[in-house]
Amino acid sequence: MQDILTANPDVAGVFSCNDPMAVGAAQAIKDSGMSGATDIFVVGFNADEIALEAIKAGDMAATIQQVPYDMGQMTVSLATLLMKGETLTYDNEDEREIFVPVNLITPENAN
């Protein structure tokens, strides 16, 4: 992230595929004198405790929280439909994707 900031001082945001990488990016941004919550929006994924603490401290803007219970419930429901010979309805028919809702965790709901 330090190299990215040096080469691209106009970076507006970072989305990381996991929270440890997002926290690392936020730390590099903080070390540069900026904030990962206001100057460059840093968003992670998984709602790990380290990300929640970084959000509360103002070092990150947000993280995405998956809901495993909902994912499991949806999977069982879809498998049941398939076993009954029913046709699935996709959110994106071209890619045959079914989206599971997630939660956006921000300073307002990080507790």
Work out the percent of the chain whose per-residue pLDDT is above 70: 100
- Please report whether residue 48 resides in a domain: yes
Q: Is residue 8 part of a domain?
A: yes
SS3 85: coil
Whether the pLDDT of residue 34 is over 90: the answer is no
Q: Which residues contact 41 (CB under 8 A, 6 or more apart)?
A: 12, 13, 14, 61, 62
Average pLDDT value over all residues in the chain: 93
Q: In the prediction, which pLDDT does 91 show?
A: 87
CATH number of the domain enclosing 44: 3.40.50.2300
pTM for the whole structure:
0.82
Q: Is residue 33 part of a domain?
A: yes
Kindly state whether residue 14 falls inside one of the protein's structural domains.
yes
Q: What is the count of structural domains for the chain?
A: 1
**pLDDT of residue 7 exceeding 90:** yes
Domain-embedded: residue 93: no
Q: What angle do CA 10, 39, 6 make, to 5 degrees?
A: 40
What is the mean pLDDT of the segment spanning 18-45?
Answer: 93
Do the domain assignments include residue 46?
yes
3-class secondary-structure state, position 41: strand
